Structure 1
Amino acid sequence: MLIADLRIFLSVVSTGSLSAAARQLDVVPMQVSRRIAALEDELGVRLFHRTTRSVSLTSEGEALAPYAHTMIDAEESVLGELRPMPDAVKGVLRMTAPSVFGQSIVLSVLPQLMEQHPELYVELEVSDKVVDIVASGLDLALRVAPLADSELIARRIAPNPRVLCAAPAYLEQHGFPRNLADLDRHKCILLQAVSQWPFVIHGEVQRRRMQGRLITSSVDAVRTAATQGLGIAMLTYWDVVQHLRDGLLREIKLEDAEMEALSVWAVTPTRRHVPARVKVFLDTLDAFMKRLN
């Protein structure tokens, strides 16, 4: 299987037509058609449904796409190690990050990174859902939730404990909770995905169902509601670090319970053939978070 054919295959996938792929690759459409046909013959499957106006992936083509990305990335990684300029970082960095972390931290890292590496392009998906990075053809996922067992490779970037916080105006009006009993009497801003709040009591995690008048599916909405004085929120440190520094939120520490310790994790599909663009991004992210902390 030729890497060049896989590049043509992925170009057709991204552009949606043979002619558009030919323009992108600066070749004639007939060459694209022949190489796709040769790839289909080699694999013994049909990769695209073709009409006179467009093409679309078959189920076999959808299955091939993430493997094609991996094979091309592996080739780029090898060439990057052997070329006279091994520090050159190029290509498309495809990654996903939680919505608030992606907007507040990742987007703050990118200007410096992309200025230093003008041939680097970034596709960033911000979502609080756990994305299948292998099926989606992603290079990297940044996650803040506890990691489930998997065959993916995880690198710990920084501690990211849960934090109880509220706006100063709310605490002035309703008082500062000192313990769990006090907290039960306060308004809480709840996230749909976290039905119970985890507290560490005598070294063990205990989950408590909290009461609140506002429930939302968005971490960003929880943070905004907290800054507007609607109640006490439970978020992770890197979601609120700048708000705490700016005085928009105040951290609440209880006398009889601690908050669950989490971390920011970088998850990659494999330990082998990690593209240079992933390594450079993670090093830049690590340095940025150490400065901010």
Structure 2
Amino acid sequence: MIMVRGGAGRLAEIALFLDASALGSFSAAGRKHGLSPAAASAAIARLETALGATLFERTTRQLRLTAEGLHYRQYSEQALDLLAQAEDGLHGGGAGVRGVVRISAPSDIGRQLLLPMLDRFAALHPRLRHALTLTDMTANLVQDDIDLAIRYGELPDSDMVARLLHPGRRVVCVAPALAA
């Protein structure tokens, strides 16, 4: 028999941890789970205490996964995906989209456009989970285990396939005093 230390409460904390790592914020993850920012932070602290590891580096501006957090995220995603597959198996597998899609996007696009779209998409496809990494760094799709990357600009010479999503335009602005 396999036992999960901490039981069902631990599973909720793991889901919260995964959302906090994807969203880059305890507050945003807490809102998604119906928790106050303080309750979300306390749940993550309980998880870290139970694991005996610090999962996040916290600053006033940023929330980043530690090496231990990256390791734990990888296995947590797999574990929750396996649990979802097990539940699907109980219900005859069912039709429809399921699994995990790993997405990498720039911070501004992810927070302003992608998160609301993914929430609507998740409502239509409840058995499909997304793992969103918000970074302005170029992702190595194979090494970073990314299914889809959204980036600005031209695709460098590669075997990757690019599709234009939006003909966005960027404008560089500067104060007149700095232009001289």
| TM-score between both structures, scaled by the size of structure 1 | 0.34
- 2:158 is the counterpart of 1:218: yes
8 Å contact 1:12–1:21 — kept in the other structure? Answer: yes
Percent identity over the alignment?
A: 33
Q: 1:14 to 1:130 in 2, by over 3 A?
A: closer
Q: Which has the higher strand share?
A: 1
Per-residue deviation, 1:18: 1.0
Secondary structure of the corresponding residue to residue 37 of structure 1: helix
Unaligned 5+ runs, structure 1: 96-117, 140-215, 221-293
Secondary structure of the corresponding residue to residue 60 of structure 2: coil
Partner of 2:51: 43
8 Å contact 2:81–2:99 — kept in the other structure? Answer: no
Counterparts of 1:31 and 1:15 in 2: how far apart (Å)? Answer: 16
8 Å contact 2:57–2:65 — kept in the other structure? Answer: yes
Q: 1:78 to 1:85 in 2, by over 3 A?
A: closer
Q: 1:83 to 1:56 in 2, by over 3 A?
A: same
Unaligned 5+ runs, structure 2: 104-123, 132-137, 148-155, 161-180
Equivalent positions of 1:16-165 (< 5 A) are 16-83=24-91, 86-90=94-98, 92-94=100-102, 118-119=124-125, 120=128, 131-132=142-143, 136=144
Per-residue deviation, 1:60: 0.8
- 2:27 is the counterpart of 1:15: no
Per-residue deviation, 1:130: 7.1
Does 1 or 2 have the higher relative contact order (CA < 8 Å, sep 6+)?
Answer: 1
Partner of 1:176: none
Q: 1:89 to 1:217 in 2, by over 3 A?
A: closer
Structure 1's consecutive aligned runs of 4 or more residues displaced over 2 angstroms after TM superposition are 51-54, 83-95, 120-123, 136-139, 216-220
* Deviation per residue, 1:18-65 (Å, 9 max, x gap): 111112222211221121111111111111112234321111111111
Counterparts of 1:13 and 1:61 in 2: how far apart (Å)? Answer: 9
8 Å contact 1:65–1:137 — kept in the other structure? Answer: no
* Deviation per residue, 1:126-154 (Å, 9 max, x gap): x9x6713xxx4558xxxxxxxxxxxxxxx
Number of aligned positions between the proteins: 121
Larger Cα-atom Rg: 1
Counterparts of 1:6 and 1:54 in 2: how far apart (Å)? Answer: 20
| TM-score between both structures, scaled by the size of structure 2 | 0.53
Per-residue deviation, 1:87: 2.6
Per-residue deviation, 1:84: 6.5
Per-residue deviation, 1:74: 0.7
Counterparts of 1:130 and 1:8 in 2: how far apart (Å)? Answer: 25
* AA matched with 1:34: A
Query: Alignment RMSD, CA only?
Result: 3.8
Q: 1:54 to 1:3 in 2, by over 3 A?
A: same
8 Å contact 1:19–1:29 — kept in the other structure? Answer: yes
Q: 1:62 to 1:85 in 2, by over 3 A?
A: closer
